[in-house]
Structure 1
Amino acid sequence: MSFLPNSFTFGHVASIVITLLSGVAVMFLRLRASNRPTTMRKIIIPPLGMSTGFLMFVVPETHVPWTWALIAFAAGATVFAFPLIRTSKLERVGDEIVLKRSKMFIFILLGLLVIRLLVHNAVESRVSIPQTGALFFVLAFGMIVVWRIAMLREFMALKRE
């Protein structure tokens, strides 16, 4: 007798475990990056590096309707970017600009991870696994681009001071 529903497969369990491990790794890296000097390059590089992920759409199995992709991007850019923007503050410390960690930041990341896990199965039940991955990638890209643009604007304002 299994404790998992019949619809769960090894792939589902592996996906959840990998997602949890990735989430913990991201949180660890974000916490280490806090209170350290930042540069324009450190703000811009992550979304540029992530943009290479759009090459996944070369593979026909990842194709989704444009409207779905736009909705996923908009959800990331509005709903999911907002808490990250609110909990990420840059500050001038001497001649350097540092990212000050909010006490809520770790809880925001945990909340986003939980929401992702809950929504993932609902989405995956309606589209294929590659399409699910594509939609979540577009959502994450929308989130990181808007978050980093907000950080860049704040960075530029601090640089002008």
Structure 2
Amino acid sequence: MINRVVLVGRLTKDPELRYTPSGVAVANFTLAVNRPFTNQQGEREADFIQIVVWRRQAENTANFVGKGSLVGIDGRLQTRSFDNNEGRRVFMTEVVGDSVQFLEPKGSKGQSAGMNNNFGSPNPNNQTNYQQNQTSNNRPSDSDPFADDGKPIDITDDDLPF
């Protein structure tokens, strides 16, 4: 049997962190995930999916992400039921997150600080930081081994990990 769910979306509110009577951390939040198509009005709709994470993942999620944060979830689908205050049986379907990946820097809330959408390239409006990272011999600092003076990089097939 296979029960795997992989989602990428934004939190609709800050995660709610609680602890069980035995001291196990659990965090709940809702993830808004865009659908891959538009409706008849040309608007993109979203699904709002309940997520629950446990233990250290729950504490990390509550401490490092908040409303609007972009996260990736790898987990499994779970259905449970309980009786509500009115005595009615309520069924819930949720994703139990085994892994939560934080896909944006902390505090960016949808805007990558100092970066554009070119996979980490420096923002042209932020050249001051790039110039400050230059060392005295006019080569980039060790933080970016691929930032060079525009010369091609010599890589053979043996150097590639795949």
Shorter-chain TM-score category?
under 0.3
Normalised to the residue count of structure 2, the TM-score between the two structures is: 0.18
> Hey, which of these two has a bigger chunk of helix by percent?
1
> Hey, which of these two has a bigger chunk of strand by percent?
2
Normalised to the residue count of structure 1, the TM-score between the two structures is: 0.18
Q: Relative contact order: is structure 1 or structure 2 higher (C-alpha 8 Å, sep ≥ 6)?
A: 1
